[in-house]
Structure 1
Amino acid sequence: MARPRLQPGPATARVAPLDPCTLGRPFHLLDGFLQRLALHLEQALQHRFNRRCGARFRVGAAGIAASLPGADGATRDATGAVAVRLERPLLLAMLGFHYGDDPATAAAQADAPETETEHRFTGGLYPQFLDALAVCSGGSAGGFAAEAAASPHAGRRIVRIELHEDGLGLAGRLELALDEAWLEHLFHHVAPARPALAPAPDAGQPLQRRLPVTLNARIATREIAFEDLLRLRPGDILPIRPVGTADVLVEDVHLFRASVAEQGGTLCLTSFVPVE
């Protein structure tokens, strides 16, 4: 008898690991902001390089990531600090297009020392990226100023945008590192406003007085045949033995044993003892 063969199942998609730094914060609401930012940058590159210089820059995926390997410029506005990093081959290609040099040759010089011309160029280019960030997050352009001590700490969130130059086959990333104040600004801009909750009437009372629970006391139990149970009618009396203790249940959980006492014709519970 032939043994059955196990057929390999369909390939399953890998689940991306959770970043604990994003838990409890509405990062999922930033998708609309990232789409607006990518479109804004696409239009800026189209206007500055593609139409004027014959380049073929385009914007790819945009997302939120962690850590910033290195920042080329740190700036601050009224909201907070933002550090900018553009991968150098892309930056040098833009520099070549801008000055009419061969962009492929310029991009190949990424390992060469930085020049004053490159610094002056980034001084005019990076403010465009920062203005796009400000406008797409509900602010206004032109509010950033360079500040040497403004660079966010490593491990902060970064806005990462993929850039491509199809004519050169070049690809890289633009990264904007946001400090905590800028992150809170983004969350405030994208998260829906919540109406203020009216204070509860007993809000000034301690929690243990404001937390109601259901308490049941099981005074006695008795076994009875099912046919006898069916014969019971209102007014029938079931004899039980006198009880001295009762089980006390809180939300159906047996927590205490209590003594049963009578006072003024009413059964009362006293001397509560926790059940181990």
Structure 2
Amino acid sequence: MAKAKRALHEKNSITLDHSTLGRPLHLLAGLNERLKNEVNTFLKSEFNHPYRAMLGVSQLSQSASKATPVQWLDLSVGHLAVEMSRPFLLRTLDYRYGAKAKPTAITEQDLSSEPSSTELRLKSSLANKLAGVFLAFLNQNQISPSPSVLHTDAAWQIDIEIVDQIDQQLGNICLVLNHALFDLLLKQVAKPRSNSKSQTAFFDQLKIKCHVHLAEKALTLDDVLKLKVGEIMPISLQARANVYIGKSKLFTASVAENNGALCLTSFEDAD
């Protein structure tokens, strides 16, 4: 029984990552639609418009990083790895250098072949351009990404599925962020905090709703039934009115006229 309980505990246990505790990870999904639009705009300008392609983002998701990038790009504010699936690269290569009306179907032999120097150059060029798109998304200044010579740890990844509407060919782009770049991403959803505490006294900030009983008029039921829309009932204001907060009468005040508006003045504590 003890072994069964321990095994169940180990199966249901969760390893907490101290780097993510207390951080607004649940809000990051709110960025997906905006980032999806940015990538779609990139695909349209890079392939769809010049080559009559029909590439688009079919879905986008974010998660703690599981990728182990071979190459990082130094973006000055952090490190980014841009991983692209072979089907995506071969399809974009076909559009750029071959396809006229309809792209060539990708075979298993194509996927198992060694990448050509042209494919590798295209991969490097697209990675740099996508890094620029992501920098703009983070509201950072544009720079020329450079290969990083430093070792860095992956913190977060964004998986983007690309579909070619012509033949439903799927491809993938994966953006892997290190901790510095992940912090910048979190700032996109973090609520701004005031650096300086308010110096205003509590009683100056506290707002209380009060109401005033200016006058009352008694009518019989017959008089009420005879009332017509727009009819004016004459009333006479008392010299002083009762001021209430909720149901409690706290003050009395004099009723005065100022530029056609009724005002209260000379407040006194109620008896």
Which TM-score tier does this pair reach, normalised by the shorter chain? 0.5 to 0.7
In the superposition, relative to structure 1, how do residues 46 and 187 fare at CA in structure 2: closer, same or farther (>3 Å)?
same
Q: Could you tell me how far apart the structure 2 residues matched to 1:122 and 1:168 are? A: 22
Q: Could you tell me how far apart the structure 2 residues matched to 1:47 and 1:186 are? A: 24
Q: Relative to structure 2, which stretch is displaced further, 67-76 or 56-65?
A: 67-76
Look up the SS of the partner of 1:45 in the other structure: helix
Runs of 5+ in structure 1 lacking a partner?
1-16, 200-276
Shift of the alpha carbon at 1:142? 2.9
Structure 2 counterpart of 1:180: 179
Structure 2 counterpart of 1:94: 92
1:52 equivalent in alignment to 2:43: no
In the superposition, relative to structure 1, how do residues 112 and 131 fare at CA in structure 2: closer, same or farther (>3 Å)?
same
In the superposition, relative to structure 1, how do residues 72 and 87 fare at CA in structure 2: closer, same or farther (>3 Å)?
farther
Could you give the per-residue CA deviations for residues 168-224 of structure 1, whole angstroms, max 9, x where no partner exists?
Answer: 32123211111111111122232121124659xxxxxxxxxxxxxxxxxxxxxxxxx
Look up the SS of the partner of 1:48 in the other structure: helix
Structure 2 counterpart of 1:153: 153
Look up the SS of the partner of 1:83 in the other structure: strand
Structure 1 counterpart of 2:60: 62
Look up the SS of the partner of 2:40 in the other structure: helix
Could you give the per-residue CA deviations for residues 41-98 of structure 1, whole angstroms, max 9, x where no partner exists?
Answer: 1011112211221221111222212334453641011211111101111111101111
In the superposition, relative to structure 1, how do residues 54 and 32 fare at CA in structure 2: closer, same or farther (>3 Å)?
same
Q: Is the 8 A contact 1:89 1:108 kept in 2?
A: no
Structure 1 counterpart of 2:38: 40
Q: Is the 8 A contact 2:128 2:144 kept in 1?
A: no
The alignment yields a C-alpha RMSD, in angstroms, of: 2.7
Shift of the alpha carbon at 1:105? 3.9
In the superposition, relative to structure 1, how do residues 33 and 142 fare at CA in structure 2: closer, same or farther (>3 Å)?
farther
Q: Is the 8 A contact 2:67 2:176 kept in 1?
A: no
Q: Could you tell me how far apart the structure 2 residues matched to 1:107 and 1:52 are? A: 28
Look up the SS of the partner of 1:114 in the other structure: coil
Q: Is the 8 A contact 1:89 1:107 kept in 2?
A: no
Q: Could you tell me how far apart the structure 2 residues matched to 1:128 and 1:72 are? A: 18
Aligned length: 181
Q: How does 1:108-127 map to 2 (within 5 A)?
A: 109-127=110-128
Look up the SS of the partner of 1:47 in the other structure: helix
Structure 1 counterpart of 2:192: 193
Amino acid at match of 1:31: A
Q: Is the 8 A contact 2:51 2:96 kept in 1?
A: yes
Amino acid at match of 1:81: H
State the identity %. Answer: 24
Q: Is the 8 A contact 1:131 1:142 kept in 2?
A: yes
In the superposition, relative to structure 1, how do residues 107 and 94 fare at CA in structure 2: closer, same or farther (>3 Å)?
farther
Look up the SS of the partner of 1:178 in the other structure: strand
Structure 1 counterpart of 2:138: 137
Q: Could you tell me how far apart the structure 2 residues matched to 1:159 and 1:18 are? A: 22
